[in-house]
Amino acid sequence: MKSKLSIILAAKRNEKQLTKKQTSELMGVTPMYYARFENNNLTPSKRNLDFFADFLEMDKDEYYRRREENEIVNFLRAS
């Protein structure tokens, strides 16, 4: 199951008409590494989360608050 982050990343990348390769170059990572985020196979580091917040054009505080809320919901569902 894809996370909200992976769905939003793909949508924003498509909205900006960027390929995964172009997005990965903006991040300074390989296309394969970036694809792991979109495919929900990798949890982003703080550095990558900061990039995603900028890329998604979100206030970083709002971005982190939403991310924490999502993690809590997922934890409660798994319990």
Predicted TM-score of the model (pTM): 0.66
Residue-level pLDDT at 28 = 86
Residue-level pLDDT at 75 = 63
- Does the pLDDT value for residue 24 go beyond 80? yes
Single-letter residue type at 53: A
Q: How far is CA 57 from CA 12, 26, 74, in A?
A: 9, 14, 24
Residue-level pLDDT at 79 = 61
- Lowest average pLDDT, out of 11-25, 27-41, 65-79, goes to 65-79
8 Å CB contact between 23 and 36: no
